[in-house]
Structure 1
Amino acid sequence: MSVEHLVLISLVVVFAAFVQGATGVGFALIVAPVIGILKPELLPVCVLVLMLPLNLYVLWRERGAIDRIGASWITGGRIVGTGGGLWVLAVLTASQLAWFVGLSTVAAAVVTLMMPAFTPNRPAFVGAGLVTGITETATGIGGPPLALVYQHHAPAIMRSTIALCFLVGELVSLATLMATGRIDGTQLSAAASLLPALLIGAGLSRVVHHRINGKFLRAFVQVFAIVSGVVLLVRA
């Protein structure tokens, strides 16, 4: 990776780590399109590797607020979805995948905008995990389904539970990608070069994460989901 690309991507990683550390979502949405434009061969492995320490930090910081039952059902769906993600990678072209994920994400966000407050049940958790497993394994972006299912929870619960689900899911995705020969040294080296930027952004998020209220977070989640879908459609 050239010095110019390293500096530009590092600045994006600082901002993305700050956003996810403060809200619980957003890292892959912000970073993946930039890497996709500058160094597409690094996706999705570089993003998945970088998210491991970031989600571990958020999980440790707010470990007392985890929704363990919801996380368990999401993880079950997530594991099943990983196989679906590999199938999608094999069957769909990149453009078809972007259209599919983008349209689904925008549709889900629009529906939730019109829905009253709700308490997610077991099928909702499993469904969110399933979709996340497919999209994150295939594209590196898996936040919208989890953000939508937890949008009516307290910010600390949302951040910590999503971090736990991400952490487990990323390990599963990386193990699966490694087993299928989709990981190489270039991707891992790039992730290591971007690690200092990640740590700076995560550290900065500690200053503001406790000041974010539920109303603001729900609005952010809606915008986040819609923007992520539009970004994928534009990339297609």
Structure 2
Amino acid sequence: MSTGIFLLVAATVAVAAFIQGTVGVGFALVVAPVVGMVAPELLPVALLILMLPLNCYVTWREHPELDKTGAGWITAGRTVGALIGLWIIAQITQHELNLLIGASTILAAVISLCAPSFAPGRKAFMAAGVVTGVTETATGIGGPALAMVYQHQRAPILRSTIALCFALGEIISLVLLCAMGRVTPDLFVSAIALVPAVVVGAYLSRFSHHRFDGKVLRTSVMAFAIVSGTVMLYQSMS
């Protein structure tokens, strides 16, 4: 990875960490399309590694608001979905993975924007967990399904619960990817080099998470995701 590409990815990671630290979702939706265009070899391993410290921090910061019951059911579904995601990445090429990332980014963002208000129960939590396991393990993108079930809850509940589900799920996905030989030393080093960008974004979010209008910021994230996903699809198909 050249210096210019590294700086671009680092800046994207810092912005994404700030957004997720503020809103509760958005990191993968912002980072995955950009990384898929300039450094696709980093997906999904580096993305999962980078999200782990960010989500641990957000969980710790807002743990009093945690929905433990919902997190439990989501994690159960997430484990099943991770196995399906592993099968997907074992069957497709990098080009096909880029198409999947672009399409799943657009679809996930549109669904999150259009989903009607509802009170989630056990089945909804399990379904969100399965979908998250599949998409996050295969592409690094897992937030929209969780955002959809929690989008009408208070912001601290959304942020803390989604962060915990992410952290647990990322550990599961990384263990499975390690078993498949997908976590190489080069990928690990590249991810670690980008951790300072995560720290910067997460630190700045502590000054804004209680001030920003979550709905407006979240809508902006989803709009960016749709544009990025569209560009990635266009480049992959051209």
Relative to the length of structure 2, the TM-score reads 0.87
Aligned equivalents of 1:5, 1:229: Cα separation in 2:
19
8 Å CA contact retained: 1:155, 1:217: no
8 Å CA contact retained: 1:23, 1:209: yes
8 Å CA contact retained: 1:98, 1:235: no
Q: How many pairs does the alignment contain?
A: 236
Alpha-carbon distance, 1:49 to partner: 0.5
**2:173 maps to 1:196:** no
Q: Deviations over 1:167-221 (max 9, x none)?
A: 0000000000000111111111111111111111111111110013464466457
The letter for the 1-side match of 2:169 is G
Q: Deviations over 1:24-57 (max 9, x none)?
A: 1111121122222222212111111011110011
Question: Which segment drifts farther, 31-40 or 153-162?
Answer: 31-40
The letter for the 2-side match of 1:129 is G
The letter for the 2-side match of 1:36 is G
**Identity across aligned pairs (percent)?**
55
Q: Deviations over 1:113-164 (max 9, x none)?
A: 5654210111111111101101111111111111111111111111111100
Aligned equivalents of 1:5, 1:109: Cα separation in 2:
26
The letter for the 1-side match of 2:29 is L
Change (3 A) 1:115 1:168: closer
Aligned equivalents of 2:46, 2:27: Cα separation in 1:
12
**2:91 maps to 1:58:** no
Change (3 A) 1:6 1:100: closer
Alpha-carbon distance, 1:94 to partner: 4.7
**2:151 maps to 1:151:** yes
Relative to the length of structure 1, the TM-score reads 0.88
Aligned equivalents of 1:225, 1:125: Cα separation in 2:
24
The letter for the 1-side match of 2:56 is L
Change (3 A) 1:226 1:69: farther
The letter for the 1-side match of 2:30 is I
8 Å CA contact retained: 1:78, 1:133: yes
What secondary structure sits across from 1:118 in the alignment? coil
Aligned equivalents of 1:41, 1:101: Cα separation in 2:
13
When the two chains are superposed, the root-mean-square deviation of aligned CA atoms in Å is: 2.5
8 Å CA contact retained: 1:151, 1:218: no
Change (3 A) 1:230 1:160: farther
What secondary structure sits across from 1:209 in the alignment? coil
Change (3 A) 1:148 1:222: farther
8 Å CA contact retained: 1:151, 1:217: no
Aligned equivalents of 1:145, 1:228: Cα separation in 2:
19
Change (3 A) 1:209 1:33: same
Aligned equivalents of 1:108, 1:207: Cα separation in 2:
28
What secondary structure sits across from 1:72 in the alignment? helix
Residue pairs, 1:130-141, within 5 angstroms: 130-141=130-141
Match of 1:45 in 2: 45
The letter for the 1-side match of 2:32 is A
What secondary structure sits across from 2:183 in the alignment? coil
Question: Which segment drifts farther, 33-42 or 216-225?
Answer: 216-225
**2:74 maps to 1:74:** yes
Match of 1:23 in 2: 23
Change (3 A) 1:4 1:150: same
Residue pairs, 1:44-193, within 5 angstroms: 44-94=44-94, 96=96, 116-193=116-193
What secondary structure sits across from 2:210 in the alignment? helix
**2:3 maps to 1:3:** yes
Change (3 A) 1:93 1:6: closer
